[in-house]
Amino acid sequence: MTELHHQIRVRGPHGFHGGLPPALGGRLLEAVGASVDGAVRMAFIGRSRPQGRRHGWLQEAAAVRLRDIDPGDELVLHFTARPFGDIPELAKEMYAQTEMWPSKPARDWSAVDTLAAMIDDVAAAREDSTRFDGSLLRQLQRFGRVVGDDVQSIQVEAKHRENRRKPGFVLVDSPVLEQAQSLDDATPAPKEARVDGVLDMIRQSTRSFAIKLDSGEELRGVLLEGDVTQARALFGQRVSVQGSAIFRPSGRLLRLDGRAIVACTEKNAFWSKLPQAKSTKPTHARQPGPLGATRGVNAFFGRWAENSASDDALLDLLHTGR
């Protein structure tokens, strides 16, 4: 089985010759696990929050495993992850079919590469990026529980990057986390919307769909409710989609979270257009929701290989660095 080896480097003013305290290590792993999961969902589905049944191929795509920890002036955590194209079901579902989401990574990328690309877009304040939504920006801000007096920065290694850029590390520090907050604050609030057009594409496995508008523009979305099988029967026909329009920080539409796709018997150009944002949402404090068995650090620990160390051994690694 092919695996890519990635490093995550932790830097602080006093170094980490004595290892990493378990409490701080737990927060770091929780932030990595939640952000990786959201980044992979965003890349393949276009929505970072889980909805409905969790697909096996999605679990494999987001699986990262901690293999070792090296102490020193900086703490180096060694992770492995599988290239997306080497996951048979994922290759069949996402790479053997027509493109559905513009940020779909290349076959040789891994979950850690996808996380690094998302962080890179946030750090560069790319307001039109399709690699994050508001939920994922808030997941990224979980690193704020780690970055502080004892940790100045975290670096995530990307083995693959776009536009022929060389492999390298992307930085997570206080300015990047502030940028994530700013992008989230700049994102307009979701808006109830109806959109009419031709159902141009729909995928049962991810519940993703595409609507071709009268202008020729294409709207992408995710059907959160309703029967996908019934919706597929409308493929190629004019339909009406009701749902919630989700926007990017730039104000442009990111996707439509659909609640229903129904046949449309009339042609009205008024409804066949991209929803427009009302305004940016006010800044307010956000607290992450409770973690279940399939979220955050719980899901992350659950992805360890069968021959991996036990939880007690991990705590020992975090504490001693060996």
The pLDDT value recorded for residue 99 is 57
- DSSP string covering 127-163: TT-SS--HHHHHHHGGGGGTSSSS--EEEEEES--ST
DSSP state of 104: P
> What's the mean pLDDT in 18-26?
88
> What's the mean pLDDT in 59-72?
94
Give pLDDT tens digits for 211-264: 999 999 999 999 998 888 889 999 999 999 999 999 999 999 999 999 999 999
Pairing of strands 208-212, 218-223: antiparallel
Phi and psi, residue 144, nearest 5°: -65, -20
Nearest to 33 by CA among 150, 123, 112, 133: 112
Give pLDDT tens digits for 135-155: 999 999 999 999 998 999 999
> Where in the chain is CATH 2.40.50.500?
191-263
Angstrom distance (rounded) from CA 214 to CA 231: 20
Give 56's pLDDT tier (boundaries 50, 70, 90). Answer: confident
Architecture of domain 191-263: Beta Barrel (2.40)
Give pLDDT tens digits for 88-119: 888 877 776 665 566 678 899 999 999 999 99
> What's the mean pLDDT in 278-300?
50
Give pLDDT tens digits for 189-223: 999 999 999 999 988 878 899 999 999 999 999 99
pTM of the predicted model as reported, rounded to 2 decimal places: 0.83
